[in-house]
Amino acid sequence: MSKQVKNMQIAALKSEFGSTRDFVVMGINKLDNDANGALRTNLRKKKIRLRVVKNSLARKVLGDLGMNVKGDSPLFTGMTILAFGGSSVSELSREVESELKNPKNAGTYKDKLVLKGALADGQPVSFEQALKMPTRAEAVARVVSLILSPASRLASQLKAPGANLASQIKSLSEGKETPAAAG
């Protein structure tokens, strides 16, 4: 491959990936044309794109984009497909896994696609870790709940003595007079 062609391919990959920082890395082995088309179509409906890449070019482009991809990374061995799109690596991983495990496609992708791992914000992680990571919305919700938790506990502690006193006054006002109090 000439240097000019290689530079054009690198520029094309950089523009295609843009500011994407989350990828699922898959290995491909004997995937037929029909299964490939079905996989791409189903993932495209979920706004996830697939790109077959040459490993050396992928490492170069991802390194240039500021990602931590080493030259001897096990993610980039053999035939490689990069899946990208979605709002987070967790969402991306979940969608790819659901497509591969879809009962309609039983056996179609078995032993033909291998999930090698993922890049989460430019850092290599295992696919299992990527599945367990929170989505952006889940992370924001958790941070908000952690921020609001002390305030809600404080408010309940401040209300508790007044509520107890009001409850005791109400029970006294509704109660009957006892014989000892009448005499």
Task: List, for residues 103-129, the tens digit of each pLDDT value.
Answer: 776 667 777 788 888 888 878 888 888
Buried b (16+ CB within 10 A) or exposed e, 105-134: eeebbeebbebbbbbbebebbebeebbebe
114 touches 57 (CB < 8 A): no
Tell me, what amino acid is at 182? A
Over 60: is that where the pLDDT of 22 sits?
A: yes
pLDDT above 70 covers a percentage of the chain that reads 93
pTM for the full predicted model: 0.69
Q: Are 1 and 57 in contact (CB under 8 A)?
A: no
**43: which residues sit within 8 A by CB, 6+ positions away?**
49, 50, 83, 85, 95, 96, 99
* Of 66-70, 115-119, 172-176, highest mean pLDDT: 115-119
38-57 burial: b if 16+ Cβ within 10 Å, else e: bbeebbeebebbbeebbeeb
Rounded to whole angstroms, the Cα distance separating 10 from 72 reads 19
> Residue 109: which residues within 8 A CB-CB, separation 6 or more?
31, 35, 39, 100
- Indicate whether 87 pLDDT > 70: yes
Whether 112 contacts 28, CB under 8 Å? yes
Tokens of 23: 């990828």
